[in-house]
Amino acid sequence: MATENPPGRQLGRCGRLLQDVMAALGLSPELIDLPPSDDLEDPCIVRGSTGAGARTVYLHGHFDVVPAQSPAQFQPARGDGRIVGRGAADMKGGLVSMLYGAAAARDLGLLGGGRIVLHLVPDEETGGLAGSRHLGRAGLIDPHAVAMATAEPTGGVVWHASRGAITLRVDVGGRPAHVGQAHLGVNAFELMTRIAEPLTELAHELRLRRTRYQLESDEARGSMLVVGGASGSGAGFNVVPGTAWFSVDGRFNPEDDLDEELSRLTAAIEDAASHADADVTVQVLQRQPSAATDERHPTAVALARCVEAVEGARPRFQLCPGVLETRWYAQLGVPAYAYGPGRLDVSHGPDEYVDEAAIRRCAAVYALFAAELLMDGSGARGD
């Protein structure tokens, strides 16, 4: 199903399909309609559960996907033990692991006196403000829950921490004029390049930082900033551009203070605009905090044991290079992790896939994780 986001197509249709699947598995689904938001089509959350009791483990996932490079990517192909198509790794394959992991935990009597609650949300790829944020605001996340896991494509590692995010749109004003009278205009594109230049210097400086958290490579341990990932200007090739804009998108390590980084970015923009005598407007499109749970936490140790039992080796704990929906739980004090069957290096690409065997193994990990935390409470967090 082509749940591309942006713009957010077929979200309601996908939500109803997931509701039907959860009902067939006996997971007591509830469809929560969300208020209209931007271009999202019938946004909704699908919430389900199995078991009963005071202790709760959350399994959280998203059913929106990034836009495809080709419409053919929405025609899934199955062969050689793989499912190929947009969203297979990030993270519809992970949703299958969650659903069947929860059902298996129930059928095998692994829930003890606790329960698994599933949250399937529609807009992770554009920040989660319509879906996941609603969970917290509506009181649907129990701050006393034992743990949360999300099925992001971690490729065999556990992401126990994630970066914070800042996204800006910088609009630059000029004065349009015909190319034959260019001297009467003020070129907003030229001003834009002058304003962006000090930000590119800042991007190189940020990459030299080093987080204490582990990543795949040392070069990836700096905070990241992309200047001009999206941009635009002008009305035509023969007109001096009267307006221009560009994006600034950053991923900041947990050690960084987002308020300080936002102030630093806006100050650099305003200073460059002042020197260029340019009229500039800065919009903050996203400001999302980082999240982290200590890998020595009892729930992290329990998750590592479960992965080792299924995969035959203990997983590495690493920092996710981007942002994670774990933050909505971690900021309430719930230990939160990402572990899923997909691989990050193929996610969002033209040949995205997930191994079917990995889906099954991940479902087993989720079932065992619930058993570790719910059967006797030995993995429950201590405050």
Tens place of pLDDT per residue across the chain (383 aa) = 899 999 999 999 999 999 999 999 999 999 999 998 888 999 999 999 999 988 999 999 999 999 999 999 999 999 999 999 999 999 999 999 999 999 999 999 999 989 999 999 999 998 899 999 999 999 999 999 999 999 999 999 999 999 999 999 999 999 999 999 999 999 999 999 999 999 999 999 999 999 999 998 888 899 999 999 999 999 999 999 999 999 999 999 999 999 999 999 999 999 999 999 999 999 999 999 999 999 999 999 999 999 999 999 999 999 999 899 999 999 999 999 999 999 999 999 999 999 999 999 999 999 999 999 998 654 444 33
Task: Please give the pLDDT value at position 153.
Answer: 97
Domain membership of residue 182 as a residue range: 164-288
Altogether, the residues listed in the chain come to a count of 383
Task: Please give the pLDDT value at position 383.
Answer: 38
Q: 248 and 108: one domain? A: no
> How far is 144 from 265, CA to CA, in rounded Å?
37
Q: 81 and 129: one domain? A: yes
- For residue 46, give both structure tokens: 């699908």
Q: Based on the structure, what is the number of domains in the chain?
A: 2
> How far is 53 from 104, CA to CA, in rounded Å?
18
- Residue 368: which CATH number? 3.40.630.10
Domain C-terminal end among 288, 304, 337: 288
Task: Please give the pLDDT value at position 299.
Answer: 98
Per-position DSSP letters for 41-74, written without gaps between them: SS-EEEEEEEE-SSEEEEEEEE--BPPPSSGGGG
Quickly tell me which residue has 């749940």 as its tokens.
3
Q: 169 and 46: one domain? A: no
Neighbours of 38 (CB within 10 A): 13
Per-position DSSP letters for 24-46, written without gaps between them: HTT---EEEE----TT-SS-EEE
Give me the torsion for CA of 104, 108, 109, 111, rounded to 10°: -30
Helix count (H) and strand count (E) of the chain? 8, 18
Sign of the alpha-carbon torsion through 369, 160, 94, 122? positive
Task: Please give the pLDDT value at position 168.
Answer: 97
pTM above 0.85, yes or no: yes
Burial (CB count within 10 angstroms: exposed 0-12, middle 13-18, buried 19+), residue 296: exposed
Q: Is residue 297 part of a domain?
A: yes
* HSE, side-chain direction, 13 A CA sphere, residue 212: 6
182: which DSSP letter?
Answer: G
Q: 237 and 308: one domain? A: no
Q: 136 and 168: one domain? A: no
Of 179, 173, 187, the C-alpha closest to 282 is 173
> How far is 61 from 170, CA to CA, in rounded Å?
32
What does each C-alpha distance from 39 to 79, 137, 206 come to in angstroms? 35, 21, 33
Task: Please give the pLDDT value at position 380.
Answer: 47
**pLDDT tens digit sequence for 253-299:** 999 999 999 999 999 999 999 999 999 999 999 999 999 999 999 99
Q: 155 and 87: one domain? A: yes
**pLDDT tens digit sequence for 296-331:** 999 999 999 999 999 999 999 999 998 999 999 999
Q: 94 and 118: one domain? A: yes
Task: Please give the pLDDT value at position 381.
Answer: 42
Do 28 and 106 meet the contact criterion of CB atoms below 8 Å apart?
Answer: no
Task: Please give the pLDDT value at position 197.
Answer: 96
Do 18 and 87 meet the contact criterion of CB atoms below 8 Å apart?
Answer: no
Q: 137 and 275: one domain? A: no
Question: For residue 175, what are the β-bridge partners?
Answer: 186
Q: 280 and 341: one domain? A: no
Do 309 and 369 meet the contact criterion of CB atoms below 8 Å apart?
Answer: no
Sign of the alpha-carbon torsion through 112, 339, 26, 33? positive
Looking only at Cα atoms, what is the longest distance across the chain? 80
Domain C-terminal end among 288, 322, 343: 288
Residues in CB range of 371: below 8 A, 6 or more apart:
105, 108, 110, 111, 112
- Residue 193: which CATH number? 3.30.70.360
Domain C-terminal end among 288, 314, 343: 288
Task: Please give the pLDDT value at position 223.
Answer: 96
What 3-state class would DSSP assign to 95?
Answer: helix
Task: Please give the pLDDT value at position 37.
Answer: 85
Q: 256 and 315: one domain? A: no
